[in-house]
Amino acid sequence: MENTNHYSITGIDIRNFKRVISVQLTLDPDDNLVTIGGENGHGKSSALDAIEAALIGTPREITNPVHNGQPGGGVVLQIPPYQVKRLYDQSRSEE
């Protein structure tokens, strides 16, 4: 029997995660494509790392997810009917 569950990310809020200082997005669940663009070093990969961290936990290769000099940071994903939240303090520990 085919699984008909379908989940879409409808909101992204990233704060002080790696190179990202602040990004908030509202996404249309009916759209099938999201483009992330920008110059080198402006946080494109950091935004994707934040989404990955929210969904599966922080990968080992990310040793300090909090943006330099900030006391904490994290990511919140809206995936109706769920909200996924992953927050960090400067010591890298999850709150």
Residue 94 has pLDDT above 80, yes or no: no
Q: Which helix (H) or strand (E) holds 20?
A: strand 20-26
Rounded distance between C-alpha atoms, residue 1 and residue 86, angstroms = 33
Structure tokens that stand for 72 in this block: 């904490």
Q: How confident is the model at residue 2 (pLDDT cuts 50, 70, 90)?
A: low
Query: What end-to-end distance do the CA atoms of the chain give, in Å?
Result: 39
What are 16-59's pLDDT values in tens digits? 999 999 999 999 988 888 899 999 999 999 999 999 999 998 88
Task: Tell me the Cα Rg of the chain.
Answer: 14
16 SS3 class: strand
| pLDDT tens track for 65-82 | 999 999 999 999 999 999
pTM of the predicted protein model: 0.86
Q: Which residue has the higher pLDDT, 17 or 92?
A: 17
